[in-house]
Structures are given as structure tokens and as C-alpha cells.
Structure 1
Amino acid sequence: MGLHSDKARESLLDAAEELFARYGIDAVSNRKITEHAGTANHSAIAYHFGGREELLRALLGRHLQEMNHRRVALIAALDDDAGVRDLLTALILPWIDHLASLPVPNWRAGFLFQVRTVPSMAEALASSAVTNPEVEGLIRRLQTALGNIPPQIIQARSMILGPMMMGVCAEYEKRINNGTEEPNWAGVGYFFIDSCTGMLSAPVTHPDDYLTLPSTPFLI
């Protein structure tokens, strides 16, 4: 693929990410994306990606690939007997560091919050998280570190925490874009790490009673 084609593809990805984050995925047509990307070719999405779902998957893959390098480094630095907080740091901090590394304005968190509303994409997000060997290994170690918490409780709590974190990040990103918030992603990240540590480790008073939700990624 030539340089011009690569740039056109990136422009479409950036345009789609912004529009999806701002208006919702179902409210944005392929035509609006191509126009926002500055191209008069309204079939550009089909040409570069094959279709709308493939465009969404390309956006999702871009996000996941960029985070994985940071997570690998954090995992390598973990002790064999790392506790819940350290394991959660390796799970959560790459996502926060990734958001902090992006230029302003950016719409990555908003897009990922919106993509959870698309069933096929939510399944892809869950699948990519679970089949990622680094994430899979962290989840197993967390379950061991939380040995006194029933597995179904851990899963139910993580189902709550994941969308909450994504929603907070999307709103925070929006305020940064609007100039009403000075970026402090590191502070946000450590707040999440502390909060998730507390919730996942909290005592269980009724182990047979817990909230059942559709399957989602473990935290993020």
C-alpha cells in the first residue's frame, strides 16, 4: 500500500473515531465519515476497509496493539508473588498511559465507550482481551491473588468496573478536548487502580447473590 493510501486510511480512521465518539456509532453514516476525512470519494471506506464493520475492527485493533507493548514491560517487572494492586496496575495503567500519549483533541476513550453498544464489536472487544496472552495471564494471577473471593463475584465486579472506567475516561477526555480540564491522566489511572483494588478485594457477605451481566472484558 502506497504512502498516499496509508495517509488516506489513517484520515478515515481518525475521522470515524471522532464522529463515533461525539455522536454515537449508529448516528454516523459512512458518507459523513468520508466527508469529515476530506475526501469526495464516498466509497473510500469500502475501498480501504471492505465495509463498516471492518472499519470498526481496524479502529479497535489500533487501540489494542498500541497498548500491548506497555503492558508487556509492566508484566516483566512484576514479582512472582505480586499482589492485587500491582497486578491491576499492569492491567489498567497501559490503557491510561495510552490515552495520555495521544494528542489533544483526541477521541479514543469516547470511541471505545461507544463501541460497547455494538453487539458484534463488544464481542470482539471481549474476545481480543481474553485471547491476549498477557491479559489472560494477568487475569489468572488476579484470580489466584483474590483466592478468597468466589470467581463469579470477581467476574461480576469486573463487569461493573470496566464500563464505569470507560465512561469516566470518555467524559474526562471530552473535558480535556473542550479545554475545561487540564490533563492529569496519571492521577486518573492511580485513582482507578486504588478503587478497583478496593472493590475486587471487598468482603463477600452473600456469595450466592451477585449481579449477572452480559459477558464483557475483564475491566478493560
Structure 2
Amino acid sequence: MGRRGDLARQALLDAAEELFAVHGIDSVSNRRIAEYAGQSNHSAVTYHFGGRDELLRALIDRYREPVSRLRAELFARLPAEPTLTEYLQCLILPVTGHIGSLPAPTRRARFQRLLATTPSTAAMLAETARSDESSKRLIAGIDELLSAVPATVKAGRERVMGRMIIDICAEYEARIDEGSQTPQWTALGYFLTDACAGLLSAPVSHPDFAGL
């Protein structure tokens, strides 16, 4: 497509991510994205991506690919018998590290929260997450360490963990954007790691929990 086309795609991705994060995914039209990106062709999203779903997948990949690469690097450096905390660091630090590496202001964490909570995109995000081989191996390792925790309790805690990471990163990003928070994404990653380790390994008071 050439450099000009690449720049147009990048502008459309940036515009879409910002507009979606501020107004919601289902409230922003393709035409509005094109106009906000400075494209005179109101069909620019269709021209450059093929359609709405393809635009959303490109946005998901723009987040997934660097996070997956960082995760694979950390996974490769794990010791022979990793601890729960070490497994969780591989899962969480790439998320906060990637967001922290982006030029300010960022909208990526808030956009990821929208993807996870908007019915039209939640399934798309979940499908992409399942394709991450490092994540699957890390979760398998965590499950093995937590074999004494009832399966439904463990699954429920993992769902809470996922929501917590998404929500806290989005809220943290919003505070940075408004100027009330100094960016410390690495420190946040370690904080979340410790919090998740405590959540997953906590004593089980009621083993008959049916799950979330």
C-alpha cells in the first residue's frame, strides 16, 4: 500500500481508539472516524480495512502483538519451577509495560475495557485472547499450582482477576490523562501481580461456589 497508505491506516486506528474510548464503540460511526483522522474520503475505514469488524480486529492486534511478544520473552526466562507470582508477572507486566511505553496521552487501557464490556466486541476479544500460546501455557501452570482450589472457585477468581486488571488499568490511565496521577506503569504491574497472587491463593471458605 505504500507509506502514504500506512500513515492513513495509522491515523484511522488512532482516531478510532480515541473516539471509541471517549464515546463508546457502538456510538461512533465509520464516517466520524474518517473525519477525525483527517481523511476526506468518508469511506476510508472500508477502503483501508474492509469494514468495521476488520478495523476492530486491527485495533485488537495492535494491542495484542506487542503484549504477546513481551509475554513470550518473560515466559522464556522463567525458572524450571516458577512460583505463582512469577507466572503472574509474565501475564500482567507485559500489559502495563506496553501501555506505559506508548506516547501520552494514551487511551489503550480504556479502549480495552470497552472491548471487554461491549457485547458486540467481547466475543471477538475473547477469541483473540485464546490464540495467545504463552498465555495458555501460563494459565496452565497457574492452574497446576492451584490444584487444591476447587475448579469453580478458581475459575471465578480468574474472572475477577481479569476484570480487576482491566478496570484498574483503565482508571489509572484516566487519572494520568486528567493530571491527577503520575505515570508509574511498572510499579502498577507489580502491585497488580501481588494483588492477583493473593486473590488466587486465598483460603477457600465455601468450596461449593458454583462460579461466575
The normalised TM-score by structure 2 is 0.96
Task: List gaps (5 residues or longer) in structure 1.
Answer: 213-220
What residue in structure 1 maps to residue 110 of structure 2?
A: 110
CA distance in 2, matches of 1:96, 1:153: 26
Per-residue deviation, 1:172: 1.2
Pairing 1:26–2:26 present:
yes
Q: Which amino acid aligns with 1:5?
A: G
What residue in structure 1 maps to residue 2 of structure 2?
A: 2
What residue in structure 2 maps to residue 36 of structure 1?
A: 36
What residue in structure 1 maps to residue 52 of structure 2?
A: 52
What residue in structure 2 maps to residue 14 of structure 1?
A: 14
CA distance in 2, matches of 1:30, 1:118: 17
CA distance in 1, matches of 2:2, 2:180: 40
SS class of match (2:19) = helix
Contact 1:97-1:186 within 8 A present in 2 as well = yes
What residue in structure 2 maps to residue 199 of structure 1?
A: 199
User: CA offsets per residue over residues 173-220 of structure 1, 9 Å max, x none?
Assistant: 1221222211011111111000000000011121111442xxxxxxxx
User: CA offsets per residue over residues 20-53 of structure 1, 9 Å max, x none?
Assistant: 1111111211121111101121100010111111
Pairing 1:90–2:84 present:
no
Aligned-pair identity (%) = 46
Q: Which amino acid aligns with 2:150?
A: P
User: CA offsets per residue over residues 97-131 of structure 1, 9 Å max, x none?
Assistant: 00110010111101111111333421222222222
CA distance in 1, matches of 2:4, 2:137: 40
Contact 2:152-2:209 within 8 A present in 1 as well = no
CA distance in 2, matches of 1:8, 1:82: 44
Larger deviation, residues 114-123 vs 52-61: 114-123
CA distance in 2, matches of 1:128, 1:35: 29
CA distance in 2, matches of 1:127, 1:201: 27
How many residue pairs get aligned? The number is 212
CA distance in 2, matches of 1:15, 1:60: 14
Per-residue deviation, 1:154: 1.5
What residue in structure 2 maps to residue 153 of structure 1?
A: 153
Contact 1:21-1:114 within 8 A present in 2 as well = yes
Aligned alpha-carbon RMSD (Å): 1.2
Pairing 1:125–2:120 present:
no
Larger deviation, residues 163-172 vs 38-47: 163-172
Q: Which amino acid aligns with 1:12?
A: L
SS class of match (2:70) = helix
Per-residue deviation, 1:70: 1.0
Per-residue deviation, 1:164: 2.0
Larger deviation, residues 147-156 vs 104-113: 147-156
What residue in structure 2 maps to residue 74 of structure 1?
A: 74
What residue in structure 1 maps to residue 167 of structure 2?
A: 167
Task: List gaps (5 residues or longer) in structure 2.
Answer: none
Deviating 4+ runs (over 6 angstroms): none
Per-residue deviation, 1:145: 0.9
CA distance in 1, matches of 2:209, 2:180: 41
What residue in structure 1 maps to residue 99 of structure 2?
A: 99
CA distance in 2, matches of 1:48, 1:23: 22
